[in-house]
Amino acid sequence: MRRRFALALACLILAAPGWAAAQVPASATVALVAGTREIRLDAAFLSRLPEIEEDVRHESGRGLVQGRYRGATLWSVLQASGLLEGQATRERARRVLKVAGRDGHVVALALAEIDPDFAGNPVLLAWRVNGEPLPDGGLRLALPGDRRGARNVRDVVRIGLE
């Protein structure tokens, strides 16, 4: 009886959202760059970050695109990397992020867009969509509030902080 109860409890815990280990693709790596400092983040690093899910809907040339993305907030990635340590609120307000995909697509975001002291938007560095790994097997920048999908970057390989 105890054994069955323990097994059932373990199954419930592992099935609960946010309790199971992150399922970051083993090949997922991204370079964080600030000035001359570069930090390589791998799947092990990303899997230790808190995960959230966000619904993302946007218009594209092919119509409405929507999905439920799972990953870490871009803010938590930057915080955990240590790149923001010691930066005053006023300094963070003038910083810009440039996110690049493997295909060369680059987009810009104001750091204040994701900073909880300012807009605090839950921009994701996602590794799953609708419960499945991303089709390209990499990481995707997903912006829940954007009406157009142009800033949703596929296969993110570099995040620059300027």
The predicted-structure confidence for 46-55, as pLDDT tens digits, reads as follows 999 999 999 9
The residue-averaged pLDDT of 14-25 equals: 56
Say what the pLDDT of residue 22 is.
61
Distance of alpha carbon 111 from alpha carbon 89, whole angstroms? 11
Say what the pLDDT of residue 141 is.
97
pLDDT in tens, 27-44: 889 999 999 999 999 999
pTM of the shown model: 0.83
pLDDT in tens, 60-73: 888 999 999 999 99
- Of 59, 74, 67, nearest to 113 by C-alpha is 74
Q: Concatenate the DSSP letters of all residues of 23-70 into one string.
A: ---TT--EEEEETTEEEEE-HHHHHTSPPEEEEEEEEETTEEEEEEEE
Mean pLDDT of all residues in the chain? 87
Q: Which domains does the chain have, with CATH numbers?
A: 20-161 (3.90.420.10)
- Of 113, 133, 135, nearest to 123 by C-alpha is 113
Say what the pLDDT of residue 19 is.
40
Assigned token pair, 105: 């697509």
What is the pLDDT confidence band of residue 154, given thresholds at 50, 70 and 90? very high
pLDDT in tens, 86-121: 899 999 999 999 999 999 999 999 999 999 999 999
